[in-house]
Structure 1
Amino acid sequence: MILHTEITGEGHPLVLIHSGGMSGASEYEEQRDFFAAKGFQVIRPDLRGHGKSVGPIEDYFVQCTEDIMDTLEHLDVETCHLAGVSLGGIGALLFAKKYPHKVKTVTFSGVFPEKPEIWEELTQQEAAHHEDLFKREEVIEYMNQLHGENDWRAMLASWHQENFYPFEETGAVEELSIPAMCLVGGESSLEFEAAGCYRKRNEAIQISVIPFAGHLVHRDQPRLYSETLYVFLQQHQ
């Protein structure tokens, strides 16, 4: 499936993959401008079920990986830098593992290599938060406009199903050989621990902690995120 994409700038491709519930056009705006000015072609796809990429959401991450490949081939992208956060971070990491020949570097944020002990509690909290969102007309109007023909309610609900999160895949990084960086917000203790776990499993994975940032580090500290990512990319340009 070819994903709808927003493309800005010219140069070596940098693919930025949005978090769950958002879209390519609604995230990474600061990074789009920053990297386009630095001579990159910034590609921001809508993952399936998001924005203008309409498609079934079963076997989500298996499909997601193939969607990214289909899209890169459609755009004639031979190799790219790849970065993603949360849902998009999972997609970026799994794609880099399966198709390393397409990826010069991979950067991921908000991803766990193993299930935290309080995972069920976190999932319940997220589900309750989503239920609250469904009661707010301004949120419903925004999501309807953002996701068009997609059933965003069903998409959000699918995240709470057992075994949705592919811990076996996100944790298996020992053989990851391409340059990789885990960017983590310093205010998220669980993700800070997750970053340390990634480094233990593969010492080649670079770890960067962004202060005064939480799960969505690229939103909380957009300038620091951009500058840190840029330094990393420059090492492998």
Structure 2
Amino acid sequence: MILHTYVSGEGEPLVLIHSGGMTGDTEYNEQSEFFSAENFKVIRPDLRGHGKSFGKIDYYFVQCVQDLKETLDHLGIERCHIAGVSIGGIAALLFAKEYPEKVKSLCFSGVLPKEPANWAELIKEEAQHYEHLFANEEAVAFLNEIHGENDWKSLLQSFNEADFYPFHATGDVYGIEIPVLCLVGENQELEVEAAIVYKQLHSAINIAVIPFAGHLVHREQPDLYSQTLYAFLKNS
């Protein structure tokens, strides 16, 4: 499936993939402006089930990887840099593993290589967060607006299903040969630990810990995120 995309700038292709529940238009705005000015062609897709991209949400990441392949082919992009956060980070990582010939470099944030001991508790907390979200009229109105005809409530709830998170794939990074950056916020202890694990799994993986930021590091520290990613791309 060809994803709805937002494209800005001209130059080396850089794909930026949003977090779960957001869209290509609502995230990475600061980074899009920054990299467009640095001679990059910035491509921000709506993942399936988000924004203006539709499609079934079963076998989610398998579908996402193929969607990204078809979208890049449609845009005539042979190779690109790719970065993503959270759900988008998983999609970016799995795409780079499946199609390494199409990826110049990979950056991901908010991705875990193994199931935490308290995973069931974290899932329960996330489910409670969604309940509060669904009761927030202002938030619901905003999400209805950005997702249009997509059933975003079912999408978010699917993220909490027991077998949704593909730990078997996110933890398998041994064969990756392209430049990789794991970029996390210091306030997410679990993700800082994950970055260290990724370094242990594959010594060539670069890690960066951004101060004064949590899970959505690109949003909480947009300038530091952009500068760090830019330094990585220039050295890739």
Measure the CA separation in 2 of the matches of 1:137 and 1:190.
Answer: 31
Measure the CA separation in 1 of the matches of 2:96 and 2:167.
Answer: 16
TM-score (norm 2): 0.99
Offset at residue 138 of structure 1 (A): 1.0
- Deviation by residue 1:15-59 (Cα, 9 ceiling, x = unmatched): 000000000000000000000000000000000000000111000
Other-structure match for 1:68? 68
What's the C-alpha RMSD, in Å, of the aligned pairs? Answer: 0.5
Measure the CA separation in 2 of the matches of 1:160 and 1:22.
Answer: 16
Unaligned runs of 5+ in 2: none
Q: Secondary structure of the equivalent of 1:187?
A: coil
Structure 1 residue 140 and structure 2 residue 140: aligned?
Answer: yes
Other-structure match for 1:24? 24
Measure the CA separation in 1 of the matches of 2:130 and 2:15.
Answer: 28
Letter in 2 for 1:73: D
Other-structure match for 1:83? 83
Structure 1 residue 160 and structure 2 residue 168: aligned?
Answer: no
Measure the CA separation in 2 of the matches of 1:195 and 1:138.
Answer: 35
Offset at residue 225 of structure 1 (A): 0.2
Other-structure match for 1:191? 191
- Aligned length, in residue pairs: 236
Measure the CA separation in 2 of the matches of 1:221 and 1:117.
Answer: 29
Q: Which portions of structure 1, spanning 4 or more consecutive aligned residues, are displaced by more than 2 angstroms?
A: none
Letter in 2 for 1:145: E
- Deviation by residue 1:81-122 (Cα, 9 ceiling, x = unmatched): 000000000000000001000000000000000001111111
Other-structure match for 2:178? 178
Q: Secondary structure of the equivalent of 1:62?
A: helix
Q: Secondary structure of the equivalent of 1:219?
A: helix
Letter in 1 for 2:175: E
Measure the CA separation in 1 of the matches of 2:163 and 2:113.
Answer: 14
Unaligned runs of 5+ in 1: none
Q: Secondary structure of the equivalent of 1:6?
A: strand
Offset at residue 235 of structure 1 (A): 1.1
Measure the CA separation in 2 of the matches of 1:94 and 1:160.
Answer: 19
TM-score (norm 1): 0.99
Offset at residue 131 of structure 1 (A): 0.6
- Deviation by residue 1:175-202 (Cα, 9 ceiling, x = unmatched): 1111000001111110000000000000
Letter in 2 for 1:97: K
Identity, in percent, stands at 60
Structure 1 residue 10 and structure 2 residue 16: aligned?
Answer: no
Q: Give 1:35-46 correspondences, 5 Å limit.
A: 35-46=35-46
